Every structure is written in C-alpha cells, then in structure tokens.
Structure 1
Amino acid sequence: MSGGHDLLIVGGGPAGLATALHAARAGLDTVIAEPRRAPVDKACGEGLMPGAVRALTALGLDVPGHPITGIRYVQGPRQVQAPFRHGPGLGARRTTLHDVLHRAVLDAGVPVLPLRVADVRQDTAGVTVPGTGLRARWLVAADGLHSPVRRSLGLEVTTHHAPRYGLRRHYAVPPWTPYVEVHWGTHAEAYVTPLGPRLVGVALLTARRAPFATQLETFPELAARLPPTAAATAVRGSGPLRQSARTRVHGRVLLVGDAAGYIDALTGEGISLALTGAEALVTNLLRGTPSRYETDWRHSTRRHRLLTELLVRARQQPALAPRIMPTAARLPRLFTAVVNALA
C-alpha cells in the first residue's frame, strides 16, 4: 500500500510496545501513537508471573527488579503459600518495565508519535486516523482498559457486575518475604509485592469507594508494617476493572492487552496475557490469518478467564467470600497446582 505503514499501534503501554517489538523484528513497518511521555506509570500490582518473565526473556529483555518465589494468601492467622515450580517471578516497578520495553522499541527503529487517537476509519485495504495523515494496512488497539478505539468502533459490551477498582502505593520498607502476599479482607484484597531492597508495592482491589488509607486500616497486621511516614509515592487508582469487548478482530483493527477485555486483577496475570496476546497477534498477521487471532486469544486466556471469573463471583457472594482463604489453606496442594497452572 503506497504511503502507509504495515502496522499502526495505538497505545504505548506494555501490550502495544511488545506488539511493536514482535512486529519490527519480523520486518513489518510499524509505528506507535502514544501521547504520554515515557516511562508511563499506572496503578498496577507490579508482580510479573513466571510466564511474563519467560516472555520478556524470549524478547531478549532484562528487567531489573526483585525475584518473587511464589504466592502467599493471608487472612488473619491463616496462611497458605505456593512456590513457583518453573522459575521465579519478578517484582518490577511499572515505570521500569515500561522503560525497558520503550528503549527496545526505539532500538528496533519503531517511531513513537505523540498522538492521541480516539477515532479510526477503515476500508478493505487499510485503516486511517482522521486528521493525522496516518494510514496502515492494520491497526492494533492497545490503548488500555478504557480503550477509546474500542469504544469508537462500538465493540464495548455493557456489564452489570458490581464495579471493582484498583489502588496502589509504594512504601520504603524492606520486603519481609520473597512471596507476593495477598491479604484477604472483608471488602478488599491487598497485594504486597517486593520491588527492591527497601521498597514494596501495595495494591488494593476493592468494590468500596474509600481512600487508600481508610481501606488499608481494615488490614491491621499489614498496616502495622507500613507506617504512613514510609509512603514513597502518591496513590494511583484504576477502574472499573471489568471491561468487555465483542470481538478482538474487527475488520482491519485488532485489540490486544487490556483493550481486548479484562475481568479483574485478582489473579495478577495482566502483563502475562498482554505479552502472550502481542505475540499471537503478530504471528497471525504474518501468517495471513488475522481472524484466527480471536481463536488464539480465547484459547490462551481461557484458563485465566475461567478462574478469575469464579474467584470474583465467589468474592461477591457473602456466603462464599469468607470461605475462599480457608479452603485454600485446607487444600494446599490444590492451591499450589492452581497457582502454577496460571504462572
């Protein structure tokens, strides 16, 4: 196609950057539209599961961080932990991950244009962004949880579930465990991720609209480890978390990462799924089978979507929510098997 790119990626977060890296290394003329300056921060648990670490290693990327050896559930005096069986995970600041991916994309010769894209036009030969002069044979919507491209194409699906939100803050205290700790409360979960010798990240997942400090107080044992004077960053928020898309392939537009659909951060697989989706998307474009990307996406995310949906539904049932942690503690082998199936 004269005067156009092979691939235009809208969104320069991890999903978009990984897609660009795969595409550029495969020889596709690729460009990214991202209005925010790098590195971009986001409310995120910042724990990379072993699958994400392997995917980044396969891309030749070395992300600095703190090794994670497993997942630990905590509820009052009860604890159950599951060590990773197939290599460690990694606690890494979102900005650090973004910086490594961004530099790799620039090194691969991919331009990152400071453009905000909210509307696209497509025909049988390609996709155009009105008012920019940008045109490509394919467009990838990697523009996040509340994707403007997804919305402009009418691909959003209205959900009727109680909305859940994520809040994140960092504390300058030494990690007390190499595990990601998930503290179960009455109305929220608190994820504690070791990020460095004197830094932990705390992410709260909740349906309550209340300040971070108020919600942290509902975890007294955890709050005692995190004095307000140790707070190292401001609170960041995100949500509602659940977002649905009718399809991942719409003509010459393909959706990846959070833009492709998201249930909840409960199982911590967002980055892993974004990296897997990026590779599957580019592979199908190279094969000339873009429609198969939808099938591959559903297949690769099925286990995650099923377990996350079950956990969120149980979490929202007053009779079931208090039983999640005790059940995991009574069945440690099952808990370990589930964690490693996801990891």
Structure 2
Amino acid sequence: MSALAGAGLDADLLVVGGGPVGLAAAIEASAAGLEVLVVEPRPAPVDKACGEGLMPGALAAVRRLGVDPAGADLTGITYVAPDGRTRAEHAFRTGPGRGVRRTELQARLAEQAASVGVATVPGRVRDLLQDGARARLVLEGEGPASLTARWVLGCDGLHSSVRRLAGLDAGSDGRRYGVRRHAALAPWTSQVEVHWGRSVEAYVTPVGPGEVGVAVEGPRGTGFESALAQLPALAPRLAGAAWTTPARGAGPLRQRVRARTAGRVLLAGDAAGYVDALTGEGLRVGLAAARAAVEALAAADRAPSPSAQAAAVAAYERDWRALSRDYRTVTTGLVAATRLPAVRRRLVPVAAAVPGLFGAAVEQLAR
C-alpha cells in the first residue's frame, strides 16, 4: 500500500481544470515531487473563447514547461481606429510571441503532463469538503464519486465551481462579454490587431499560415456580426471568409474574488479573479500564479508546524497580488476609461501621436 493510500489520500494535490493553467500547475507540481491528479469533465482538447495570443513572456513560460506549440509568430501589437487609417504600432523588442489555437496549446500541455506521470480524472465538482488535514471533492460524471488530497488548486475558469464552493466568490459586474471565431485566411500582418469601435473591440490574431482568430468584446448582448458592423476597417477583410469554427462566447468577464486561499484550497488562473482580456495578459499571469501556488504548497508541506504551514499558504495570496498588480491596475484603468465615448474616440489617435508611450505600455504587457 502506498503512503498516500495508507493515509486515505488519492493524491497530494487535486488540480481542478484541465486548461492551460491547470495543466501547467500539474506539471509544476510533478516537478516539485507532488503526486497530482487533474480533474476535468470535458474530453481533450479543451477549448474556450480567448484571444489566443501568447505574449513573449507567456511563450517563454510555456517553453519552460517543455512545450513549444505550433502557431504563428506575433511580432507586436497594432491599434486600429474605425477609419482604418489611424494606427498605433509597436514591435516587441524582446522577440516574438506566438498566436496559438487554444486547442493546440491545451493538447501539447496535456501531452507534457501525461509524460511526467500526471493522470486526468473525468468528473465535475459537485461539492468540496475540507478539514485541517485534507480536502475532498465530491464528483459527478464517469469517474470516481470522490477524491481526497492534502490540497486542492482551482484552475476551473471564469465560473469556477471551486471558488464558489470554497466561499471565495464575490460576484461579477456583468458588463463585458466576448465571442471568438476562426477564419480560413492568410494573416495579413504578423502583429495582433486590435480594432476599436464605438462600444466594441476586435482582436485579430494570426494562429497559423492560413488561419486567423477573431475575438470581439463588448457589452452584454454583443453579437459577432453586430460587432463587425462597428469596425469598417476590419469587416471587408473578413467578408466571404470561410469560418473554421463556430462562434464561442465567454462572460461576464469581470470576476471578483474575496481571496485566493481558503484553508486547503487555492485558486489560480481565471478562477482567482479576472478583470478583462483587453490587455492580453491573462495567460501570462495565470501561468505565473500556477508556479507560485505550487511553490507555496511545496513550502507548506515542508513546514514544521501547522502555523508555519498556514503562513506558507498565506504567502501565495501576497505573491498573487504582486505578480498580478500591473495587469489588474492597467486593465482596470483602461476598461474604465474606454467606457467613456470621448476616450474611445481619441484612444488610437493619442497612441499614434505618442509612440514612445504606446510602446512602453506594449513592452510592459509583453514581458
């Protein structure tokens, strides 16, 4: 009998959510010597609506995990005004990022996780119970009825069940939603184009030699076609294109969280709180949080006393706030400012008029 089984445990760590952040956390946990299981109700590859652009820093983080997904080089960011003529452009100074289909990224991370011994268990979390020594997930689906471990890491997205069951959910403002599709078109630029409309934005990301991803964001009720109607510089490029995927939506985007830890439960990725996709930093922050969470749990397992263990877990909340501070500050400010029609009209012209400032902002996001 293994030590885990003898202690009534199925694993050291249960990671809930088999998307990129959850799989990254599982890979990190395995490297740290933890026995880890991933709980995911959907068959691979797991898809969701997202912009699919890995900034240079996010690409470096993925490669550090031993994964190098196929896609298209991203060399910078371009903001485009509705007239199509006013543009602000900046090329990354640190080298390219990569546009990667979400399914491709998830598949490669899943392969890497399996190669280091991480197993995925099918199931949807129905309940979460914990005491001072362990946490138990009650599941529904084709897998086991329950799983028990010393720790649970919720990486299950915007509408996280783990966050809700742990009492950490603080609601959403419900204002911003997103829709994404893919078109069979040769990319016309190697940069991510952000097209600004009256109340919507569209993010065009090359994801391969013959395909681009188009994600639109806007207020509740925003549809894909209605969003393109606000973007006369983009709509003609997509006219007649063969759509390779159906419209997939997400939202509300803004998710508020009371804290990132509750006893033996931690949160990472979108489950840990989300502002908006406006700056494209979500995945970079999520990958960094996954690493920080695993480091906190490894430190907790080495702690000589319950109080030292609690302090190690509490350090994750401070680490999360520090590594996400710039993202939260910049994105919250930009979302609030661009709710004002006058700011939206002037955003691209001002960015084009002060290229140094625009470039500095892009480099901050690219790191």
TM-score, structure 2 length as denominator?
0.91
Unaligned 5+ segments in structure 1 are none
1:72–1:79 Cα contact (<8 Å) kept? yes
Retained in 2: the 8 A contact 1:144–1:257?
Answer: yes
Shift in Å, 1:106: 0.9
For 1:115 and 1:162, the matched residues in 2 are separated by: 28
Aligned partner letter, 2:320: W
Q: Is 1:195 aligned to 2:207, yes or no? A: yes
Q: Aligned to 1:320, what secondary structure does the other structure show? A: helix
2:22 corresponds to: 16
Question: 1:16, 1:162 → 2: CA distance?
Answer: 25
Q: 1:26 to 1:164 in 2, by over 3 A?
A: same
Partner SS, residue 272 of structure 1:
helix
Three-state SS of the structure 2 residue aligned to 1:200 is: strand
Say yes or no: does 1:104 pair with 2:112. yes
Distance between the aligned counterparts of 1:109 and 1:185, measured in 2? 47
Deviations 1:12-32 (Å, cap 9, x if unpaired)? 111110000000111101011
SS in 2 for 1:221: coil
Whether 1:264 and 2:270 are equivalent positions in the alignment is no
Whether contact under 8 Å (1:118, 1:149) holds in the other structure is no
In the TM superposition, residue 162 of structure 1 has moved relative to its aligned partner by 5.5
- Whole-angstrom distance in 1 between the partners of 2:123 and 2:171: 28
Query: Residue by residue, what CA displacement relative to the aligned partner does 1:279-308 show, whole Å, maximum 9, x if unpaired?
Result: 111111112212101100000010111000
Structure 2 residue aligned with 1:3, among 3, 8, 30? 8
Deviation of 1:228 after TM superposition, in Å, equals: 3.7
CA distance in 1, matches of 2:25, 2:261: 15
Q: Is the 8 A contact 1:187 1:208 kept in 2?
A: no
The structural deviation recorded for 1:208 is 4.5
Pair 1:122 & 2:134 matched: no
* Identity fraction in percent: 51
Q: Distance in 1 between matches of 2:138 and 2:223?
A: 40
Residues 174 and 252 of structure 2 are in contact (CA less than 8 Å); yes or no, is this contact kept in structure 1? no
3-state DSSP class of the match of 1:128? strand
Question: Deviation string for 1:92-151 (max 9, x for gaps)?
Answer: 000000000111111111110001013200100010123623110000011110001111
Which range is displaced more, 203-212 or 305-314? Answer: 203-212
Structure 2 distance, partners of 1:118, 1:272, is 29
Specify which of 13, 23, 44 is matched with residue 50 of structure 2: 44
State the partner residue of 2:308: none
- CA distance in structure 2 between the partners assigned to 1:133 and 1:69 by the alignment: 46
Q: Identify if the C-alpha distance between structure 1 residues 59 and 330 changes in structure 2 by more than 3 Å, giving closer, same or farther.
A: same
Question: Where does structure 2 lack aligned partners over 5 or more consecutive residues?
Answer: 140-144, 301-311
**Aligned position for 1:150:** 163
State the match for 1:312 in structure 2: 335
User: Superposition pairs for residues 51-62 of structure 1, below 5 Å?
Assistant: 51-62=57-68
1:183 maps to which residue? 195
Is 2:166–2:265's contact at 8 Å kept on the other side of the alignment?
no
Q: Which residue of 2 aligns with 1:225?
A: 237
How many pairs align? 342
Structure 1 residues 33, 271: closer, same or farther in 2, change over 3 A? same
- The alignment yields a C-alpha RMSD, in angstroms, of 1.2
- Alpha-carbon deviation of 1:58? 1.1
Please say which of residues 281-290 and 59-68 is displaced more in the overlay: 281-290
Pick from 162, 180, 183: which aligns with 1:168?
180
Determine if contact 1:91/1:195 at 8 Å carries over to the other structure.
Answer: yes
